[in-house]
Structure formats: C-alpha cells, structure tokens
Amino acid sequence: MTTRAAPWWRRGRSRSRLRRAAVAGLLVVSLALAAVGWVGFRAWQARDHLLGAAGLARELSVQVLDGDVAGGRGTLAELQERAAAARRATADPGWALGRRAPLAGDDLTAVRQVAVTVDDLARHAFPRLLGVDLDALLPREGRLDLAGLQAAEQELSAADEVVRAARTRLGGVATGGLTGQVDAAVAELRGEVDRLAGLTGAVSRGAALLPPLLGVTEGRDYLLVSQNLAELRATGGMFGAYAVVRAERGRIRLVRQGTAGQLGHFLPALPGVGPEMRALYTDLPGIWPADVNLTPHFPTAAALYREMYRRRTGETVDGVLATDPVALSYLLAVTGPVEVPGFGRLTGDNVVRSLLSESYLKLDLRRQDEFFARSAAAVFEALLARPVPPKPLLSAFDRSVAESRILFWSAHPEEQRMLGESRLTGVLPEREAEPTVGVFLNDGSGAKLGYYLEPGAELTVGTCRPDGRRELRLRISLRSSAPRSGLTPSVLGVGRTGDPYVVRTLVHVFSPAGGAIVRARLDGVDTALGSGTERRRHVAVATVDTGPGQTRNLEVDLLTDRSGTGGAGLRLTPTATPWTTHIQTASPCDQ
C-alpha cells in the first residue's frame, strides 16, 4: 500500500504553523531568559546594596556609642541610600513574578523581606537612636537629668517599636527551602535584630523606669549590697557589706552603711522559703542574711534580705541592688583609681585582689568590714561625681549585667514586671524559648577560699529523642589555685573538709525548664547526687572537694523539655576568676 504525499498547500500551512510555534517558543524562552537575567541582575544589585548597608550599620553603632553625632549623620545618610536602593531593587514586577517561581521563589521572597527590614530600620529606628543624648542617661555631679531622660525615653520607645516590628517580620520568613547563602543571611540578620531588640527594649524600659526609680515624685531608698566572691553563693557571693542609697528627684546619695553580720539571724526562719527551696537549702535562707542567695533566683534572695533589714532597723527600702568586686574593677577601669581613706588606692587592676584576698591576710575582722564599706562608698561616689565618657561606662555596665554581676530587684510589683526576665533582674525563668542549663556554686567549706577557684563549663547539644526531648552533656571543671600553707584563720574558716586548704563546693546543676537530669560522674566515676526541684527545673547537687593545685571534673547528662531547637545556653554563678565556657550547638531536630 502506497502513502500519498499531502498536497502542497497543506504542506505550506503545516510549515507555517511550525514556524509560528517555533517563533513563539523562542520568544517565550527569550522572555524567560530575559526575566531570569533581569531578576538575577536585580538580585546582584540588592546583594551589593545590602552588604554595603550591613557594614554601614556596624559603623553607625560604633559612632552612636562614641557620641560622634556628625560622623553618625553622614553614615546614616549613606545607609539610608543603600537600604532604599536594595528595597527598590526587590520591588519591581519582574521580582514579584520571580517570587512565584517554584525553585527561586522562596529565596527571592526572603531577600525582599531582608531588604524591607533593613530599610525600615534605616529610616525609622536608627535616626532616633542617633538622636538620643547618651549623656542624659548618666549621672552628673550626683544627679541624673530626669527631663533629658524622659525626652530620651520617647525616642527610645519609638525606635524599639520599629525594631520589634522588624523582628516579627523576619520571624515570619520561612527558611526551610532556602539556599545556603540566603539562609545564612536571614539567620545573621535575625541574630543582629534580636540583639538590637534586646538593647532597645532594655534601654527604653530603663529610660521609662529610671525617673520613678530615682524619685521623680517621691524619694526612694535602696539597699546596695556587695557580694563577697571569696565565699560563694549561687548569685555570686555571700551578701557582705551593704549601703543605703537615697534617690530623690534625680539626686543620688549614700546615707548609711552596715554589714550582714550586724543584722544577726532570725528564729524562727522568715516566711518566703517554700517547700521546694527548703528541700534544697533547708531553712538557712530564712535564718541568715549571708544565706538568702543560696538560691540562684535573685528576686527571692532580695525580698528575704529586704525583710531582714526591715525587721532589724524598722526601715522599709524600695529595692535591692547587688554587685561584686569584679564589676567594680570594670567601673574603676573607666572612672580611674579611687582613694579609700585609711586603706590606700583601689584601681581596676588591684580591687579584686585587694578585697577578696589581701584584706583577709592583712586585716582583722572589724577592719575588713570597714574596708569593704569604705571601698564601696569610694567607688560609688567616683561614679556619681566624676565626668566619664558614655561609651566605656555603658560597656562596663553591659558587661557586668551580661555576667550577672549587677542585679536589681524592685519591691514595686509593676516596676518589677516591666523589668521582665533580663539578666539584670536575676530571674531564673520557668519557661524559655531555648533550653538553658544552670550551674550554681555554693560554698561548703565555711571559708573564704572561693577567690582561688577557677571554674569552667562545656555544654554539648546531643541527639534528638523520639519523645521530642533532646540530650545534653555538661562537663564542669573546678581547679583550685589555693596555696598549701600560709593562709590566715579568717580565710580558712571552720575547715569543714578536715583539711582547711581543701575547697568544698556544692555544685547545683539546674536542668532546662521542664527538663531532667539523668546521671552524673565525678572524675569518671558515677557519683551520688542530692536532688530536688526549683522553678520547674530538676536540680542535682554534687559535693566537690578540690585540694590545692587539683582539678575535679563533673560530667552530667541532661534532657531538655520537648524542644526541637539545636541551641542551648548556660547560666552561671559569677566568680572571682571568670568561667571558661564552650557551647557546642547542633542542627534543629526537624533538619
């Protein structure tokens, strides 16, 4: 059977349709390639602008803290130009069309959100931060400028609103299908905005709270307590010397001083020590002023100390502010040396050694208390009276708060709620977004050997369990640099270990909120643990004796609550020698 060829006119129409289809296909492909090329070009532009904006934002933050308003204005103008260009580059129709593409759409959407966030910060948050007069946040000649502070609070509050909105926008970006480079950029910006939100939130709340705290309408009295790191307690050291600070219409002055020993002890124990705390610490926090901070939850310790002071003196204070000699060393590095009448000069380099070591070797008990009280007064007066540059002073405060060396509790519930659960408040939170392990040290020697303790902690995030919990591995090291002889009885104390040169430390390990502690090993050998709970955390207590030159290692296996995050945090007792720490994170459980 033969096949006949189609007529010529049909063959012509077929070829014409093929040519039209080919031309149409070529046009579609060309348009698609052009669109991809255009979006790629705009993406390159956006990337260039965003990278430039990131560098300018870091430069601007330095200028803000330095008080370089002129330089900051120039940097801000360039930052706003770059940020606006990045926003424009991600706003045209081609980019909007590309965001619907199945592969690149998520990346283009994320880059758009990054560009909008940076532009909003550049236009609405950074100008307000640049306009704040940092000097208004610092005392001058014993007085704080409350009018300037209230003006700064309005700008800081507005900036904080913008930053929180930016944080919410970034939190809504889906990162599951992003390419590595875009995912890293979103994660980095989230981290930076989180830190900025922490700063603007804390500073704006502080600016709002300081006027009432400093007696804008009525006078306020506070207990300023020195934590003696030579005898460790969970929040730092035993409460030793104290001062009463009077704040009235912005003017701050020290009106009275004393010591915890002068408050005596209380029997029966004060209320405020609940069954959970009693199981861990007995009734001691409600009996002895030096033991109120066996618990790491500072509001509990501060409220107990305030009540003890009230019962002994008949005076009611409005809050408690605690600090330690290491924080004083940070402040003295800024203010310069101070003379302590009758005791010599304190500097940033010698204050820790002088207060926590040499005083016990050279002075009797009465002179020790006098030295502590006069030292606190001298540093306090220098801080109020001397003109100091804002940046290093704010950095010293920031470092002290980050290390939990400055803690504050207000007896006024509304003010305490506004302060929230920041490091400044010393709150041990009962709920947390990221699992946090606490390592808190209490002296068990009845001595002043804490000065010689050198602690370290390593936390490793482990595997994900089918029940949604995550395994954690904690390794704590305690080394003693104490000499083998030559210390005075006021250092060696009652020598509860038998050998007065052995440091006995009660190590309280707190699980993450809702978590658990599984087992512990001391120097590789399973060890018995005391056990209890506090604030929705499982608590294990290990007794660790460390001789001169010796290092002891405590390993603890823990579980988180049901949390898929790969991050983790540490809360630690501040010590005379700062901790060495390392945290090994992991990928989230859903990756």
DSSP per residue, 412-435? SHHHHHHHTTSGGGT---SS-SS-
Query: What kind and span of H or E run contains 210?
Result: helix 180-213
What per-residue confidence (pLDDT) applies to 189?
A: 74
199 pLDDT exceeds 80? no
Mean pLDDT of 94-107: 61
What pLDDT does residue 545 have?
A: 97
Lowest mean pLDDT among 97-106, 366-375, 431-440, 512-521: 97-106
Give per-residue pLDDT as tens, 58-89: 777 677 766 677 888 888 898 888 888 878 87
Confidence bin at 33 (pLDDT 50/70/90): very low
What is the DSSP code string of 325-378?
A: HHHHHHHHHHH--EEETTTEEE-TTTHHHIIIIIHHHH--HHHHHHHHHHHHHH
Structure-model confidence comparison of residues 500 and 174, the more confident one: 500
Q: How confident is the model at residue 470 (pLDDT cuts 50, 70, 90)?
A: very high
Please report which confidence band the pLDDT of residue 137 belongs to, taking 50, 70 and 90 as the band edges.
Answer: low
Q: Which domains does the chain carry?
A: 24-213 (no CATH), 220-416 (3.40.630), 430-584 (2.60.40)
**What gap in Å lies between CA 424 and CA 351, rounded to an integer?**
23
- pLDDT of 501: 96
Per-residue pLDDT at 122 = 85
Q: Quote the percentage of the chain above a pLDDT of 90.
A: 48
pLDDT at position 231, please? 96
What would the mean pLDDT of 285-303 be, rounded to a whole number? 97
Rounded distance between C-alpha atoms, residue 173 and residue 183, angstroms: 10
* Runs of H (alpha helix) within 216-350: 275-281, 298-313, 325-335
- Whether the pLDDT of residue 313 is over 90: the answer is yes
At 7 the pLDDT is 52
- Position 297 scores a pLDDT of 98
Please say if the pLDDT value at position 24 is more than 50.
no
- For residue 443, what are its two tokens? 């002296």
Which pLDDT value is given to residue 22? 46
Q: Report residue 544's pLDDT band, with 50, 70 and 90 as the boundaries.
A: very high
What's residue 25's pLDDT?
42
Encoding tokens for residue 89? 């580059």
- Is the per-residue pLDDT at 40 higher than 80? no
Average pLDDT over residues 491-508: 91
Instruction: Write the pLDDT tens digit of every residue in 353-363.
Output: 999 999 999 99
Do the beta carbons of residue 249 and residue 215 sit within 8 Å?
A: yes
Assign 109 a pLDDT band (cuts: 50, 70, 90).
confident
Q: Is the pLDDT of residue 506 over 90?
A: yes
Distance CA 288, CA 260 (A): 9
Distance CA 252, CA 321 (A): 14
**Distance (Å, whole) CA 82 – CA 209:** 36
Residue 238 has pLDDT above 90, yes or no: yes
What does the pLDDT read at residue 564? 74
Q: How confident is the model at residue 30 (pLDDT cuts 50, 70, 90)?
A: very low
What length does the chain have?
591
Could you tell me which of 410, 56, 110, 405 has the C-alpha nearest to residue 236?
Answer: 405
Q: Cα–Cα distance between 560 and 568 in angstroms, integer?
A: 9
Indicate if the pLDDT at residue 445 is higher than 80: yes
8-66 helix and 69-89 helix, angle to the nearest 10 degrees: 170
Instruction: Please state the rounded mean pLDDT for residues 537-564.
Output: 96
Beta-bridge partner residues of 509? 439, 540
Q: How many CB atoms lie within 10 A of CB 316?
A: 11
pLDDT(205) > 90:
no
Judge contact between 167 and 186, C-beta under 8 A.
no
Which residues are within 8 A (CB) of 129 and not within 5 positions of it... i.e. 6 or more apart? 64, 155, 156, 159, 200
Residue 108 parent element (H or E): helix 105-120
Angle between helices 8-66 and 105-120 (to 10 degrees): 30
Whole-number pLDDT of residue 551: 98
27-31, 177-181, 247-251, 437-441: least confident range: 27-31
Confidence of residue 155 (pLDDT cuts 50, 70, 90): confident
- Contacting residues for 551 by C-beta, under 8 A, at least 6 apart: 477, 478, 479
Greatest mean pLDDT among 6-10, 360-364, 543-547 lies in 543-547
Beta strands in 182-287 (DSSP E): 220-233, 236-248, 251-259
- Asked whether the predicted pLDDT for residue 14 surpasses 80, the reply is no
Q: Tell me the mean pLDDT in the region 34-39.
A: 38
pLDDT band, very low/low/confident/very high, at 34 (cuts 50, 70, 90): very low
| Pairing between β-strand 551-559 and β-strand 516-522 as defined by DSSP bridges | antiparallel
Which amino acid belongs to residue 39? V
Q: What is the mean pLDDT of the chain?
A: 84
Q: Is the pTM of this model over 0.85?
A: no
306 vs 34: which has the higher pLDDT: 306
